[in-house]
Amino acid sequence: MWAGIKREGRGSDLGLLVSDEARPAAAVFTTNALNGAHIAVCREHLERSGGLVRAIVVNSGNANCATGERGIENARRTAAAVAERLGCPTEQVLPISTGAIGAHLPMDKILAALPELCEALSPDSAAEFARAIMTTDTHPKVESAEFGAGRATGIAKGAGMIHPDMATMLGFLLTDFAVPAAELPALTRRVVDRSFHRISIDGDTSPNDTVVLWSGGAAGSSGIEELATHLEEVAGRLCRQVAADGEGASRLMTIEVRGAASEAEAAKVGRVIATSPLVKTAVAGRDPNWGRILSAAGRAGVAIDVQKAKVWIGAERVYEDGDPYPEREQEAWRHLNENREVVLGIDLGVGDGRADVWTCDMTADYVRINADYRT
């Protein structure tokens, strides 16, 4: 719903997820030293409730970050207002914020809107929730997979300030399978490491990043391995949606890194390539400028054998064994020009570590969106 946190006409800004009863949840938060006010409150609530969550309330349009003690108090008041309506303890409500940094939440508007929000809940609220958490996203992001007697559903927002280790991203992974509270934190970490930590829009992490994994019970139990596999699949699809919807993006880029000394080094190189403005602007210009890919890999600080390395764009190996192949660039250009999802790959020539990282190209629109964000 629109509570008036965003300007009128800019869309919904307050969303709510409610469970029939308090259910186990776990969360992963930003690694940024600056933390949105909700992070301290969420940690405190999860600890006091023993990881049981009844509701998650999210506002967009204001990050409630760099707002001091008053910001923390405002997050607590938001949770308390929802808890009162639902008749549950305050610590069973997680309040989460996303948006611009450095302004206090308009508490009068939020408190005035919450009663209607709590009334309006329906089984279809996931779609409405996905819309309410959007900032510069161009569309809501929901993914789902059914297996066994239940399902896994993911909802995310994020289109800028996105980088591994949690960026301006909110992700909600829901399953109606029961998971013991004790097993949830490790499961959450595992799923996030292989999904949300593999995307980057601009290398800027945000102070508010939060992913919550919330389990249910209606579908009974599931093997943890099977559940993890499905959650990773759903989270991976969400992440590709997030990368494809990067601010101003015209291309979803998959960076394939092969032949690294380890998976960790492969992921590191992938992130450096995925955050290189020169690589990202080249793709925006459909320029198969593989020299920038090789050069970005060269500054990643990991082992690379330049004489054995290979670089490919789509199916074309434009650099191989120390030599450029300019005659293959026409096909590489065609790959960049004709597909909305493109592949840039590099083999470092030193081992068998591999990882894929997702990002988007950097267009003049990225600059316009971020130059004018608060105006």
SS3 state at 78: helix
Closer by beta carbon to its own copies, 87 or else 326: 326
Asked if residue 157 lies in contact with residue 201, where contact means CB atoms within 8 angstroms, the answer is no
Residue from the set 182, 264, 315, 367 that interacts with its own copies by CB under 8 A: 367
Which CA distances in Å does 280 have to 284, 307, 338? 6, 25, 17
Q: Least CB distance from residue 77 to its own copies, whole Å?
A: 18
Contact partners, residue 287, CB within 8 Å, separation at least 6: 333, 336
Site for its own copies in 306-325 (CB under 8 A): 306-307, 318-319, 322-324
**Catalytic position from the list 168, 175, 188, 359:** 168
Q: Which residue from 42, 296, 313, 355 is in contact with its own copies, where contact means CB under 8 A?
A: 296
- Burial class of residue 35 in the structure, from the number of CB atoms within 10 Å of its CB (0-12 exposed, 13-18 middle, 19+ buried): middle
- The beta strands (E) that lie in 181-315 are given as 210-215, 252-260, 310-313
Question: 202 vs 232, which CB is nearer to its own copies?
Answer: 202
Q: Is 168 among the residues known to form the active site?
A: yes
- Examine residue 182 and tell whether it contacts its own copies (CB under 8 A): no
Q: Which residue's CB is nearer to its own copies, number 233 or number 347?
A: 347
For residue 370, the SS3 value is helix
Please state, in angstroms and rounded to a whole number, the distance separating the CA atoms of residues 227 and 325: 45
87 lies in the site for its own copies, by CB under 8 A: no
- CA–CA dist 292, 304 (Å, integer): 15
Pick the binder of its own copies from 50, 299, 338, 341 (CB under 8 A): 299
| Residue 140 structure tokens | 């809501």
Which residues, in sequence order, are CB contacts of 136 under 8 Å at separation 6+? 159, 160, 247, 369, 373
Contacting residue, 284, 313, 342, 346, with its own copies by CB under 8 A:
284
Q: Does 92 bind its own copies (CB under 8 A)?
A: no
* Under rule CB under 8 A, residue 277 binds its own copies: yes
Query: Does 243 sit near its own copies (CB under 8 A)?
Result: no
Single-letter residue type at 102: G
Q: Is 273 in the site for its own copies (CB under 8 A)?
A: no
Residue 317 Cβ vs its own copies, minimum distance, rounded to whole Å:
13
60 near its own copies (CB under 8 A): no
Active site residues: 168
